[in-house]
Amino acid sequence: MLTSLGESRSSRKPDHLLQTPDTFIRTPLPAADGVEFIVHAAPQLGAAFSWMTAEFKEGGTLPPALPGLQRFVYVLEGELEFEVAGEGLSATLTPGQYAFDPDGMARQFRASVQSRVVVIEKRYEGITGSLQDAPGRAFVGDESSLPSESLGGDSALQVKRLMPDGPAWDFAVNTMTYDPGASLAMVEVHVMEHGLLMLEGGGIYRLGDNWYPVSAGDFIWMAPYCPQWFGALGKIPAKYLIYKDWYRHPLGA
């Protein structure tokens, strides 16, 4: 289908990427059967983590994460069976539910029906000489049952934290939900980088010196120090899933 004469809202700048669904390219990856991947963010882009959408056929499976990599999965559509070898932890995850595997010990990531799943991976950054040389334990969770908090006292902007907080955890994954008309109170400029998937609604995202219309399905990467701001537009709340590196000294271990 010819959608445009070379036009897209997608934009790649040194400090950010807006990737809209019309520009998604699918790829297979080794040892993943019945799964195709859209690789949204990766070191090739300048990111220190990877963020993929995994599109499973019924019965599709992911191999364990590569050595040293933590994996966080969040189900967008369908049903994902998650089972951790030897730990008695197993769950069937449905949309809004998620799981964390610290070190590739999960034995099973299998879709029982056609499914779409966010897969975020990051090499664990230990803290030399401390107990935090190893990442935290595997867990599963459900976004809908998490408490939410107002950001900076603004009840029109609600944040849910999907990862535990503490020195064993070197990244955070949150959802942020904006009532129509709500916005970040300030332009943020910070050392952490972000990956972000618009889940619902839309608005205007400022990235660097650009203001982009964005809506559900769009992916954004922001490099460290990329100036950023979002304002929600439309008649329904805007919601996104956002990753950031967290709780580590900038000069490393």
Of 158 and 228, which has the nearer Cβ to ligand UGY?
Answer: 228
Q: Rounded CA gap, 117 and 94, in Å?
A: 10
Of 52 and 220, which has the nearer Cβ to Mn ion?
Answer: 220
Q: Is 177 in the site for ligand UGY (CB under 6 A)?
A: no
Candidates 8-16, 58-66, 180-188, 202-210; binding stretch for Mn ion (CB under 5 A): 180-188
Q: Is 15 in the site for Mn ion (CB under 5 A)?
A: no
Q: Is 242 in the site for ligand UGY (CB under 6 A)?
A: yes
Q: Is 76 in the site for ligand UGY (CB under 6 A)?
A: no
Binder to ligand UGY among 20, 97, 115, 228 (CB under 6 A)? 228
Binder to ligand UGY among 40, 71, 244, 248 (CB under 6 A)? 244
Q: Is 188 in the site for Mn ion (CB under 5 A)?
A: yes
Residues that bind ligand UGY (CB under 6 A): 176, 184, 188, 194, 228, 230, 242, 244
